[in-house]
Amino acid sequence: MAEEWVQQVQNEVNTLEKLEKYINVTDDERKAINTLKTKWGTTPYFASLMDKDDPNCPIRKQVIPSMKEKVNEFGMDDYLVWKENRATEEVRPDSIARQYKDRIAFTVIEVCGIYCRHCFRREIVTEDDLQLRFDVEEGLAWIREHSEIRDVLITGGDPLLLSDDKLEYLISSLREIPHIEMIRIGSRLPIVLPQRITNGLMKAIGGFHKVPVWINTQCNNAKELTEETEKAIFKLMGGGINVGNQAVLLKGVNDNVPAFRELHQKLLRTRIRPYYVFYCEPAPGIDHFRTPVEKGAELIRDALRGHTTGLAQPMYVLATNIGKIPLMPDYYIMDKNDKEYTLRNHLGQTTKIPNMPE
Ligand code: SF4
C-alpha cells in the first residue's frame, strides 16, 4: 500500500464533488469552480482544516477559486518574465531564475500540494500561460559551470512532491558541486501535507553534511498549524534541517493585528522561525488579496515589535525584479540633533541617547 502522503496526493480535493464532502460550497465558489480555467486543489488533510460554513475562512480563501480572479486592474502582464529576469541577455535554462550574483532559484517541478489562489507564479503553476521546460540535468549542468553560485534555492511547484529517490539524487548532485555551500528548499508541504516528512525523506535530504539543507515553508494563518505540523517540524529539526516561514500578506487572511500576531506566535510554538512576510506581488488576477504596501510595516509595528517575543519578528519585504526590498516601520527615530537622538518605542514613549560623532 502506498505511503500516507502518496495517498493524500492521489486523493487531491480538486473537484466540486470532493469539496462538498468538507464544506458547504457558496454560490460564488461554485461559479468560480465551474467557470474559471484554472488548476486548483489541495490535500484531504488541508481541506479538513477548512471551516464548513464560513466562506471567509482563511484556509478556504487560499484553496478555493473566486470570481474575483477575473479582475485584473493592478496586476502586471507577463509578471514572471519581469520578476524572474527572464528577458535578460544571460542565457540560462528555463529552470534557473536569477536576481543575485551568488544564488539562484532552481525550478524542478510544476505540481503543488495546494494551488494557492494568491500564487505569484500562477502563470506557470495554475494557468499554464507560460510554457517553460524544467529539466533537472540541464539546470545541474548550468550550476556546475557557474562557480560564483554558492547557494541554490530549489523551488517549484513543490519540490518535496518529488520521490525520495529523485530528491536524494538532486541533493547529492548539488552537494558534490564544490562551490555549493548551502541548499534551500521552498515547500508548502510541511503545512499542507506534513505527512510527507517521513523517515525516507529524512534519509534523502537530512543528516550531517558539509552542505546543509534549509527549508522555508509558507504558512499564512495560525489555523494552518496543527499537531501534525508540530511533529513534522520536530522531525525535520531532528535531521538537521532548520525551518523558516515565508508568509504572504493577504487581505482577509492575515492583514489584521490579532491574526498577524497569532500567526507569528504560533509559528514559534511550532518551532518554525518567522523569516519573511512578503507583500502580495502584483501578479495578474490577485488584486483581491493585495493590501496597500505600507500595511505589512504597520502590522509589524502594531502587532509584533515590542508586543511579543523578538524571535517572532519577520522581515517585511517586497520581492521585485531587482531583488527583495525591505519595508520596515520607521517610527523609532523621532528627532536627531548634534547632541542626541530622540527615540520612540512601541507604546509611544520617548527616550534620548547621545549622538556619537564619527
Ligand atoms: S505552493 Fe507555492 S508555487 Fe504552489 S501554488 Fe502555492 S505559492 Fe504557488
Q: What is the CA radius of gyration of the chain?
A: 21
CATH code, domain with 157: 3.20.20.70
The residue whose C-alpha atom lies closest to atom 8 belonging to ligand 1 is: 119
In 3-state terms the chain splits into helix, strand, coil percentages (rounded to 5) of 35, 20, 45
> What number of other Cβ atoms are within 10 A of residue 223's Cβ?
18
**129 shares its domain with 234:** yes
Cell of 331: 517610527
Q: Which residues pair with residue 97 across a beta bridge?
A: 105
Q: From CA 127, how far away is CA 247, in angstroms rounded? A: 22
Distance from Cα 117 to the centre of ligand 1, integer Å: 8
The DSSP line for 7-32 is HHHHT-B-SHHHHTTTS---HHHHHH
**288 shares its domain with 353:** no
Give the ligand 1 atom nearest the CA of 122. Answer: 8
In tens, the pLDDT along 101-113 reads: 999 999 999 999 9
CB 64 within 8 A of CB 33: yes
The residue whose C-alpha atom lies closest to atom 2 belonging to ligand 1 is: 157
Q: From CA 156, how far away is CA 337, in angstroms rounded? A: 50
Give the ligand 1 atom nearest the CA of 155. Answer: 3
The domain of 341 spans 331-358
**Most informative mutation of 40, 116, 193 for ligand 1 (most atoms within 8 A of CB):** 116
**278 shares its domain with 348:** no
CA-nearest of 293, 284, 280 to 74 is 284
**317 shares its domain with 347:** no
Q: From CA 197, how far away is CA 231, in angstroms rounded? A: 9
As for ligand 1, residues whose beta carbon falls within 6 Å of it are 112, 114-116, 119, 121, 125, 156-158, 188
Distance from Cα 111 to the centre of ligand 1, integer Å: 9
In tens, the pLDDT along 247-264 reads: 999 999 999 999 999 999
Distance from Cα 350 to the centre of ligand 1, integer Å: 43
**320 shares its domain with 339:** no
Its pTM stands at 0.93
Distance from Cα 340 to the centre of ligand 1, integer Å: 48
For a pLDDT cut of 70, what percent of the chain falls above it?
A: 98
Question: How many separate domains does the chain show?
Answer: 2
Given this model, what pLDDT does residue 166 score? 97
Give the ligand 1 atom nearest the CA of 248. Answer: 7
**23 shares its domain with 125:** yes
**304 shares its domain with 185:** yes
**Most informative mutation of 108, 115, 127 for ligand 1 (most atoms within 8 A of CB):** 115
**339 shares its domain with 289:** no
Give the ligand 1 atom nearest the CA of 156. Answer: 3
Distance from Cα 258 to the centre of ligand 1, integer Å: 25
**307 shares its domain with 339:** no
The residue whose C-alpha atom lies closest to atom 6 belonging to ligand 1 is: 116
Q: From CA 318, how far away is CA 117, in angstroms rounded? A: 19
Q: From CA 219, how far away is CA 31, in angstroms rounded? A: 27
CA-nearest of 314, 224, 325, 189 to 261 is 314
**346 shares its domain with 208:** no
**146 shares its domain with 38:** yes
Cell of 171: 541533493
Distance from Cα 358 to the centre of ligand 1, integer Å: 47
**Most informative mutation of 80, 109, 119, 246 for ligand 1 (most atoms within 8 A of CB):** 119
CA-nearest of 215, 216, 204 to 173 is 204
Given this model, what pLDDT does residue 124 score? 78
Given this model, what pLDDT does residue 323 score? 87
Given this model, what pLDDT does residue 73 score? 92
Q: From CA 59, how far away is CA 46, in angstroms rounded? A: 8
Given this model, what pLDDT does residue 80 score? 81
CB 155 within 8 A of CB 79: no
Given this model, what pLDDT does residue 331 score? 72
Mean pLDDT, contiguous 10-residue spans, the chain (358 residues): 96 98 97 95 98 97 97 89 75 89 94 95 76 89 97 95 97 97 98 98 96 98 98 98 98 98 98 97 95 95 92 93 87 89 90 90
Distance from Cα 5 to the centre of ligand 1, integer Å: 18
**48 shares its domain with 173:** yes
